[in-house]
Structure 1
Amino acid sequence: MHAHMVKRWAATAAATLLALAPTIGTAQAQEARGQGLDGPGCRAVTSLGRVRGVAQDGRCAFLGVPYAAAPTGANRFRPPQPAAPWRGTLAATEAKPGCPEDLSAGGEGVEDCLHLNVWAPRTGGGPKPVMVFLHGGADELGSAEDAVYDGGRLAVRGDAVVVNLDYRLGILGWTELGGLDPAYAGSGNNGLRDERAALEWVHRHIAGFGGDPSDVTVFGQSAGAVSISATLAGDHPERLFRRAIIESGPGYLVHTADSARRTAQHVFTTGGITSVADLDRLTTRQLLDLQQQAQGGLSGPAAAVFFGPYIDGSLVPGPVVERIAAGSAREVDVMAGSNENETDYWALFNPAVLDLPLSAYRTLPAVLADRKQQMYDHYAANRPGLAEGRVVNAMLTDQTERVPTLRLAEAQSHWRPTHVYQFDWHVPYVPGLPAAQNLGAAHTLELPFVFGGLDLGAFPRGAATVAEQRPALTRLSDRMMGAWTDFARCGEPGWPAYTPDARATRIWDLEPTVQYAPHDDERALWDAYDFPDWAF
């Protein structure tokens, strides 16, 4: 799965995008509506030209379709520009390379990377709901071509059109250059603009693939989910999508404008950069070298969320949860969740994570510092016999993921039905093994179930567990795929909506249940904390 993805955790153009938004789903959608897949083969018709895909087990896959012009040459560090029409039929039969990513992942990818993939079931019938996925990877790693994100199974299971996409990463997509040249103001959100451009492309062209442009759900994990959270805080997100699923990516991880400027200045200082021209002279490989140098020596939250969307006053007008509480996403149905043991994931790369003593827990904010021992004692009392490091990681999971996710869900629940889940299944523990060989429901673990691939090879004993328990794990995956696609189709995933009074939560395990206010005593311990930006 994504063993390569986690060494580190995860203005004019805005006006242009918003100006285009009111036309979405109207003239262009009506022009394309009903075209669907053309003929007996895997062919689609769009206003940009015809597209030929490849048949895959009851569905068509269209791979590497450009949704914007190449962000190269004069477009480098600029907002995405519209894709140009093509002559003849576009062969979309092979995946394209993803965007350049951190050297810890091999530095793979090319700058001409603004492509998307579409999976469409061959079941006929009317227009189908559309699901658009944004991958994670701390906004510096990852690719739509990662096998775990193959949308074919989900498309067939839910009779939906599934899309995923690549967006610019690292310096190329998430570094604010306005301090070097005002003409580049807002470039620190170019990755977010790429994602929006892809959603606009979907609205304009997805009818040609059998999808319903008026019924779009965006879903994302980790950094992708943070981008969705940021977009929910914007003006009229309902013009981009009708529903949103946020997997382990709460809005508190969206940077402030000050932190975006500090991050950019750190990059410039590291590389001796004094102008955009200095950056533009660097090759892709040199940019990745600079990116790695800028992050060298950083640790903790500053390294984990070095890149990412920020509050720029236009695309993201203000703090995410505040904006959502004020009704910015009042027309959007939201489902949000996290995994029971999110921070166990980092033990895949540093086993010492699970042995973190309370004395080393330095990310607890000052407002709670005098309660650290009291909070630890409370968590420990709920987990008798658990080692100190495991208890500390339970606190870290709540601080970084679970409680911020619940804050977002509570804010949205005042406006629209909102649904919350927690993923609890994990590879069974084996007594006597080191902690790092007994991971819980870690960050990313839900993805093989959501997409149906059940590739758990990155986790200790994961592949063996799938071989031993395939029928039970397949049932769990089928239920989750059903819930995700049911939510995309009608906004109802199959359990009660979340409210501040009842806090209904779907617990995903071999036998899924609904719990009301699970671990609510621990959630309440964080009430005094506003979860400020953790960025550099």
Structure 2
Amino acid sequence: MSGGELTRRRLLGAGAALAATPVLGRTRDPKVGPFIGLRENGVLAFKGIRYGRAARFARAVSEPLPTSPTETRSFAPIAPQRGNPDLSQSEDCLFLNVWTPDANLCAKRAVMVYFHGGAYSNGTVTDPLTNGGKLAAQGDVVVVTVNHRLNALGYVWLKPFGSRYADSGNLGQLDLILALEWVRANIAAFGGDPARVMVFGQSGGGAKIATLMAMPGAKGLFHSAATMSGQQVVASGPNNAWKRTQALMAALKLAPGDVEALLTMPVERIVDALGTTDPVMGGSLYFGPVLDMTNLLRHPFWPDAAPQSRGIPMILGNVREETRAFIDPRGPKLLGLDWDNLATRIVPEIKIDLDVDWVVARYRAQYPSWTPEQVFYSATTAGRSWPGQVIEADERAKAGAAATWVYQLDRPSPLDPLRGAAHTDDIPYVFGTLDAPGSMSGVDQGARMTRDLMMQAFAGLAKAGCPGLAEWTPYCLPGRATLVVGDGNVKVFDDPRRWERELWATAPYVQPGS
């Protein structure tokens, strides 16, 4: 029996066993099959459910369901990474979490599966911002959040060392596919409908979704999708991926062919080496999906939208000034900013190669009342974090794909006047975690209204294949209808940032990591 067939049979058998186990929905400790969870925010929560196991640099295999009662009341370790040092980290990190209003086999609620941000290098779904309880309760859906392998452990390109490593450049993506297979096989016992699975993700999580939309192994595993400030137009080419592998091995002081040492060394050494300079982009080493011609046979949105996912309805969103979240307005990059040094400060932050003195002059002519800081954040957002979304939305429209809805979050944080509407700020609105540590939304009436609007839209897509907002019209060319979300209010505008879109389209966008 092949490994793939064994995995499929295990999944089917696991699903049957789970469905056959009685659900004790009103016991003090809620139980679904062997899993013992807890009550949280008015819903049932099951945390730290294992969905797979994997040896280092090997494709993960599914995990049979436990044969005895298993506590799933707390989060499992997260993937090894340079971030989140206060959380337990382990290479054994293939766990997911489920929140459900009612573990009833007959409920057949829509399922929302979340993939976290942090590019492909960092992050976790154990962040309080992405706790799924409030979304499950208010949205009346089943929420699943997934951890998986990251950075070199999930995406280093080792295929040049032999066919044994054919999957190596996309292991993190294959983990997500395995988690979605687990959902398909088992979610009915938690009250979910395996025929209505929506994937959604922020930043790197959205990029992972865009990549899955071009991976044959993911076909049919989800039925709608939403990305929040996360795009993947092209994947890394194998030659650039190999340069990064060589840089990693050099940082570890390994001989160029010593892959066996890479397999056995302490994981802490690998994580430490991630800080070495990336030979393609500069900055720290980038590892992400690779055009491996094994699991990823084409780029996600180049030269067009991947045909396999054109039938999937989709939400695409960004925030108005993305870069205020990771270029601190109080930090050194903004210190002493003025018209004389503005262009120099913008250059290293953008992914479109234009004469930045010319760009600044165009902004000053178009917006004569703007300050250097306003131009800086608008230009770095439009030249770095936003173009990928425009490309994806345009390519879907050109291809006649299923409806796409585009939003732009404009609501500024009421907690920090210098933050504006920045990267990650839409997370607490979608999850309903306004008061969670790290949220910049506040809890005022505007925040609550924005939460209700965003949650209704996302849950609506999961339930019915279209957002739950009647006024939100799909994105088509040439109109480019966009839902602009303000302080508890929304309005649809055609091409609201047309001037900036056209300015930055003067030259090609370069996908980070490609």
Which TM-score tier does this pair reach, normalised by the shorter chain? Answer: 0.7 to 0.9
Residue 234 of structure 2 is aligned to residue 278 of structure 1: no
Give the partner amino acid of 2:296. V
CA distance in 2, matches of 1:107, 1:284: 16
Equivalent residues of 1:107, 1:285 under 8 A apart:
no
* Secondary structure of the structure 2 residue equivalent to 1:303: coil
Task: Give 2:214's aligned residue.
Answer: 233
CA distance in 1, matches of 2:208, 2:108: 27
Residue 488 of structure 2 is aligned to residue 502 of structure 1: no
Structure 1 residues not aligned, in runs of 5+: 1-11, 431-436
CA distance in 1, matches of 2:436, 2:365: 32
CA distance in 2, matches of 1:25, 1:65: 14
CA distance in 2, matches of 1:327, 1:24: 30
> Superposition pairs for residues 286-435 of structure 1, below 5 Å?
286-292=269-275, 294-295=276-277, 302-303=282-283, 306-322=286-302, 324-325=304-305, 327-348=307-328, 351-354=331-334, 355=337, 357-363=342-348, 368-370=353-355, 372-413=356-397, 414-428=400-414
Q: 2:151 aligns with which of 170, 182, 187?
A: 170
Equivalent residues of 2:52, 2:60 under 8 A apart:
yes
Residue 463 of structure 2 is aligned to residue 482 of structure 1: no
CA distance in 2, matches of 1:305, 1:38: 48
Q: 1:514 aligns with which of 472, 492, 495?
A: 492
* Secondary structure of the structure 2 residue equivalent to 1:346: coil
CA distance in 2, matches of 1:216, 1:166: 17
Say which structure is richer in helix.
1
* Number of equivalent positions: 498
Give the partner amino acid of 2:408. Q
Q: 1:453 aligns with which of 387, 410, 433?
A: 433
> Superposition pairs for residues 75-90 of structure 1, below 5 Å?
75-90=55-70
CA distance in 2, matches of 1:208, 1:44: 10
Equivalent residues of 1:102, 1:170 under 8 A apart:
no
Equivalent residues of 1:229, 1:320 under 8 A apart:
yes
Cα distance, 1:441–1:112 mapped onto 2, change above 3 Å: same
CA positional deviation for 1:362: 3.0
Give the partner amino acid of 2:320. E
CA distance in 2, matches of 1:314, 1:323: 19
Q: Deviations over 1:378-410 (max 9, x none)?
A: 333443332224313312211222221021012
Give the partner amino acid of 2:93. C
Give the partner amino acid of 1:476. T
Of residues 161-170 and 236-245 in structure 1, the stretch that sits farther from structure 2 once superposed is 236-245
CA positional deviation for 1:481: 0.9
Cα distance, 1:206–1:123 mapped onto 2, change above 3 Å: closer
> Superposition pairs for residues 51-62 of structure 1, below 5 Å?
51-62=35-46
Cα distance, 1:438–1:55 mapped onto 2, change above 3 Å: same
Residue 194 of structure 2 is aligned to residue 209 of structure 1: no
Q: 1:224 aligns with which of 194, 199, 205?
A: 205
CA distance in 1, matches of 2:48, 2:368: 51
Residue 423 of structure 2 is aligned to residue 440 of structure 1: no
TM-score by length of 1: 0.84
CA distance in 1, matches of 2:226, 2:413: 25
Residue 79 of structure 2 is aligned to residue 94 of structure 1: no
CA positional deviation for 1:309: 1.4
Looking at both structures, which has the greater relative contact order when contacts are Cα pairs under 8 Å and sequence separation is at least 6? 1
CA distance in 2, matches of 1:401, 1:25: 38
CA positional deviation for 1:426: 1.3
Residue 471 of structure 2 is aligned to residue 491 of structure 1: no
CA positional deviation for 1:154: 0.4
Q: Deviations over 1:244-276 (max 9, x none)?
A: 111111113632222211111110111122322
Cα distance, 1:374–1:96 mapped onto 2, change above 3 Å: same
Q: Deviations over 1:342-361 (max 9, x none)?
A: 11111349723444721343
CA distance in 2, matches of 1:95, 1:474: 28
CA positional deviation for 1:38: 4.0
Q: 2:121 aligns with which of 126, 140, 148?
A: 140
